[in-house]
């Protein structure tokens, strides 16, 4: 047996933590119920999904033009646009802006792209404080963790854990497990930080090419604070987030929060079209947008894999995944966990690093069923499984294609294929197998750890139907 991989070890560890598992189950149950309650009319839901899919697919089909249009309009509005091929380039751009302003700290609204960039770590290595202000992100940052869910980053933590953490990190604040009091403490601490922060950072949910507008969805107001209070605002986003028209926004805004947390709408929907104007009294005087590729243009080059880029990061696939609910977000060892991570990470980072994830799916289809933009996630998992073992690696843009092809496994599938496409061989094999069924071991490795071994029948269906005289042509 090969040495267990890091993923295997993490999965086993996660499955062993029954309390955390129960916690995840409860959390996902709530999110699933909330979503279901938002869509009482299935026909309306399906129509909205089709519309959202069309909006995103349309945007992707015009992606280079829309990016240029977005850049032109943002520039006209006074926003400075930067392009980055890699996360390192993106980090350098952020650093450069900060250095220009002699900024020693940055306050952040929630941004998965900044997680993808490893921005906090990058800045901290250079002596710059990067502070998360989303309550969930703030909590996990206190504990030196990464998000376990893309929209509820601290979902793996219980109230008791958070209470203890607050007391440990802020000994001056009396211990409490009252959520309102904990929240009030976080507000006070972060208010002072917002007050003083020289630079704010945010992600982008949608970027409107037609108007040069950056849209942000949030509940807490930290997104507004991060993009309003500090004199400099830096937004980071993947190149795929652009949509063509302003009229594309309402349907996407209608389906995103309902799919994500089961809210009809988030508390705030923030549409930013530029820095502070001469006669305005607040808002940043500088706004920057960093457009990050990091493998997206490679994904773009394949007509099937392209669907991955339709994602609007609602997390519904995660909430409905029977694998995620059991192993939690950290086991994936990736920035994006769950089904979306399973398809995105191996494409972004290559199959050598994250190729194992594509086995972590029973292909049950729950993710594809709820995806608001109809990404066929199971089909893409299947495609990546193919990419990982295919021989014609020149026909896919996926990095490290073919590198998971193992000679023994390939030989078994070839033998199986040969037998199952030659009926006489198959029937001989089937008959022989059933005749020798007593020899099948009762120990089938992992299968029989929790199940008994299946028993071969005395006679195959082929034999029985022949005996019954069923027409066989």
Q: Which of 237, 368, 372, 399 binds another protein (CB under 8 A)?
A: 368
Q: Which of 200, 274, 328, 329 binds another protein (CB under 8 A)?
A: 274
Closest contact distance (angstroms) between CB of 282 and another protein is 4
Q: Closest by alpha carbon to 299, among 238, 353, 337, 344?
A: 344
Closest contact distance (angstroms) between CB of 145 and another protein is 13
363 binds another protein (CB under 8 A): yes
x/- site string to another protein, residues 327 to 346, per CB under 8 A? Answer: x-------------------
DSSP conformation class of 205: S
Q: Torsions phi, psi of 333, nearest 5?
A: 65, 25
Q: Which of 33, 183, 395, 435 binds another protein (CB under 8 A)?
A: 183
Q: b or e along 407-420 (b: 16 or more beta carbons within 10 Å of the residue's beta carbon)?
A: eeeeeeeeeeeebe
Closest contact distance (angstroms) between CB of 271 and another protein is 4
Give the C-alpha separation, 369 to 449, whole Å.
31
CA 281-134-255 angle, 5° bins: 90
- How far, rounded to the nearest angstrom, does the alpha carbon of residue 272 sit from its chain's CA centroid? 25
Q: Which of residues 400-459 bind another protein (CB under 8 A)?
A: 409-410, 413-414, 416-423, 426-427, 430, 433-434, 445-457, 459
22 binds another protein (CB under 8 A): no
Closest contact distance (angstroms) between CB of 79 and another protein is 10
176 binds another protein (CB under 8 A): no
Closest contact distance (angstroms) between CB of 159 and another protein is 4
Q: Which of 189, 246, 353, 403 binds another protein (CB under 8 A)?
A: 246
Q: Which is nearer to another protein, 173 or 246 (CB)?
A: 246
Q: Which of 39, 365, 393, 403 binds another protein (CB under 8 A)?
A: 365
Which of these ranges, 111-119, 199-207, 210-218, 311-319, lies near another protein under the rule CB under 8 A?
Answer: 210-218
Q: What contacts 90, CB < 8 A, 6 or more positions away? A: 84, 113, 117, 119, 236, 290, 292, 294
Task: Count other Cβ atoms within 10 Å, centred on residue 268.
Answer: 14
Give the C-alpha separation, 454 to 440, whole Å.
9
Closest contact distance (angstroms) between CB of 101 and another protein is 15
Q: Torsions phi, psi of 372, nearest 5?
A: -70, -20
Q: Which of 80, 105, 176, 297 binds another protein (CB under 8 A)?
A: 297
132 binds another protein (CB under 8 A): no
Q: Which of 20, 63, 98, 234 binds another protein (CB under 8 A)?
A: 63
Closest contact distance (angstroms) between CB of 11 and another protein is 6
Give Cα separations from 343 to 58, 114, 151, 334 (angstroms): 21, 19, 18, 11
x/- site string to another protein, residues 39 to 58, per CB under 8 A? Answer: -----x--xx-xx-xxx-xx
Q: What contacts 343, CB < 8 A, 6 or more positions away? A: 308, 358, 375, 377, 380, 381, 384
Give the C-alpha separation, 116 to 176, whole Å.
33
Q: Which is nearer to another protein, 117 or 327 (CB)?
A: 327
Beta strands in 273-348 (DSSP E): 286-292
Q: Which is nearer to another protein, 105 or 211 (CB)?
A: 211
DSSP conformation class of 5: P
Map tokens 């920057």 to a residue: 288
Closest contact distance (angstroms) between CB of 358 and another protein is 8
220 binds another protein (CB under 8 A): yes
95 binds another protein (CB under 8 A): no
Give the bridge partners for 38, in sequence order: none
Q: Which of 35, 108, 224, 330 binds another protein (CB under 8 A)?
A: 224
Q: Which of residues 369-408 bind another protein (CB under 8 A)?
A: 369, 379, 382, 384-391
Strand order in the sheet with 79-84: 79-84, 286-292, 232-238, 199-202, 105-108, 129-132
Which of these ranges, 97-105, 279-287, 311-319, 332-340, lies near another protein under the rule CB under 8 A?
Answer: 279-287
Q: Which is nearer to another protein, 50 or 104 (CB)?
A: 50
Q: Which of 45, 67, 128, 256 binds another protein (CB under 8 A)?
A: 67
Q: How do 129-132 and 105-108 pair as beta strands?
A: parallel
Closest contact distance (angstroms) between CB of 433 and another protein is 6
């Amino acid at each position: 047996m090969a040495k267990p991989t890091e993923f295997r070890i993490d999965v086993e560890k996660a499955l062993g933590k029954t309390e955390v598992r129960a916690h995840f189950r409860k959390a996902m149950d709530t999110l699933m119920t909330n979503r279901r309650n938002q869509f009482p009319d299935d026909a309306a839901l399906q129509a909205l999904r089709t519309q959202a899919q069309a909006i995103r697919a349309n945007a992707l089909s015009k992606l280079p033009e829309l990016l240029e249009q977005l850049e032109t309009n943002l520039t006209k509005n006074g926003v400075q646009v930067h392009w980055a091929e890699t996360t390192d380039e993106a980090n350098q751009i952020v650093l450069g802006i900060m250095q220009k302003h002699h900024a020693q700290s940055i306050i952040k609204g929630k941004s998965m792209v900044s997680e993808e960039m490893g921005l906090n770590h990058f800045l901290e290595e250079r002596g710059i404080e990067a502070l998360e202000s989303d309550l969930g992100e703030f909590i996990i940052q206190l504990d030196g963790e990464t998000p376990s869910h893309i929209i509820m980053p601290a979902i793996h933590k219980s109230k008791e854990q958070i209470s203890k953490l607050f007391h440990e990190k802020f000994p001056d604040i009396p211990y409490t497990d009252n959520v309102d009091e904990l929240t009030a403490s976080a507000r006070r601490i972060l208010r002072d930080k917002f007050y003083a922060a020289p630079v704010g950072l945010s992600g982008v949910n949608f970027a409107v090419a037609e108007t040069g507008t950056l849209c942000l969805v949030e509940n807490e107001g930290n997104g507004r604070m991060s993009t309003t209070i500090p004199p400099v605002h830096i937004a980071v986003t993947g190149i795929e987030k652009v949509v063509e028209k302003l009229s594309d926004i309402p349907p996407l805004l209608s389906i995103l929060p309902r799919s994500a947390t089961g809210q009809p709408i988030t508390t705030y929907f923030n549409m930013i079209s530029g820095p502070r104007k001469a006669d305005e009294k607040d808002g940043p005087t500088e706004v920057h947008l960093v457009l990050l590729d990091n493998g997206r243009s490679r994904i773009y080059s394949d007509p099937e894999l392209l669907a991955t880029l339709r994602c609007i990061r609602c997390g519904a696939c995660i909430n409905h995944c029977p694998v995620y609910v059991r192993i939690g977000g950290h086991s994936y060892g990736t920035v994006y966990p769950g089904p979306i991570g399973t398809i995105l990470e191996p494409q972004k980072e290559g199959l050598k690093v994250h190729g194992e994830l594509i086995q972590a799916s029973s292909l049950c289809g729950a993710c594809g069923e709820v995806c608001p933009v109809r990404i066929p996630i199971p089909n893409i998992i299947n495609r990546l499984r193919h990419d990982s073992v295919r021989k014609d690696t020149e026909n896919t843009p996926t990095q490290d294609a073919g590198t998971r092809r193992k000679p023994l496994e390939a030989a078994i599938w070839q033998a199986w294929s040969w037998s199952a496409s030659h009926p006489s061989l198959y029937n001989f094999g089937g008959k022989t197998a059933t005749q020798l069924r007593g020899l099948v071991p009762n120990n089938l490795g992992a299968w029989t750890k929790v199940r008994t071994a299946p028993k071969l029948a005395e006679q195959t269906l082929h034999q029985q139907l022949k005996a019954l005289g069923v027409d066989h042509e």
